[in-house]
Amino acid sequence: MDAVGKRLFASDVLKKQSLQFGLRLMNHLIEAYRIAYDDPSERQIGIADVLAAAMVIELSDGLRQAQHSGISIGADVRRAEYRDRPKTDAPAVSMARLLSLPSLPFSAIAVAELRKTHLYGQYRECVVWAGTIIANVIEDILLQQLPKGSVEYKRLRTKSSEIRGATKRGSYFQLATGRALRAWLEDYERQSNLWKGLASSVEAILDQRNLLLHRKKAIGVKEGQAAFETCMNFLYAIQYGVPFNPEDSSRRF
């Protein structure tokens, strides 16, 4: 390879690596923004998004030229309630805190993904994210409340994937909280009619997620909507002690 070939090779490698680094950095900022500013309609970007924009290239001899791709740039499809929401100092402080962390919290990202899939009508993804969030919250409760010296706790820490979900919701949850998950959620049902059927709905979503992933179960609008509302009600029950109201923006995740 001659000198010109080496320079072209190095230039191509540096360009690709710089682009990939820029994408990773931008996506990290976008994820932090979605959590801090409570905007589920934003999404991560890929190479197609970069190609959809105009690029100004400045050559080493000072010449400049603009390049435009043939891919059309999409309009801002975010709903006005997110796009025009009044900004306060709180989200900026939250975003600064998030960017100071080594990695962003999985639960917050997962809820943002759930809200985005619901917002855009991606109902299969709704079921997957809802089931994943619920399963993770259940496991978090078990890890926090199981006796640390118990066989169940040690097995959950080291071989969680080998434990059936029904076992975690049953005997493991009984040992951790004194009740199985169904009985635990039925207490919430007795507190409000808006939580009616929460225990059965949670189990249904977990079953649907497994059927979707392993047997390609058909998922439609009804299942996607139920997954979203069930997951949010489950989270609200644990975190706020009040039922989730889709019209109430004061307690958005």
pLDDT at 83 over 60: no
pLDDT of residue 155: 93
Dihedral sign, Cα of residue 240, residue 243, residue 248, residue 249: positive
Mark 183-211 as b/e (b = at least 16 C-beta within 10 Å): ebbbebbeeeeebeebbebbbbbbebbee
Q: pLDDT digit string (tens) for 21-54?
A: 887 888 888 888 888 888 877 777 766 666 666 5
**Are 226 and 220 in contact, with CB atoms under 8 Å apart?**
no
> What confidence tier does 74 reach under pLDDT thresholds 50, 70, 90?
very low
pLDDT of residue 78: 43
pLDDT at 212 over 80: yes
Which runs of E-coded beta strand occur in 107-177? none
Work out the average pLDDT over 136-153. Answer: 93
Among 2-16, 130-144, 156-170, 212-226, name the one with the lowest average pLDDT.
2-16
pLDDT of residue 28: 86
In 3D space, the residue among 66, 44, 72, 70 whose CA is nearest the CA of residue 54 turns out to be: 66
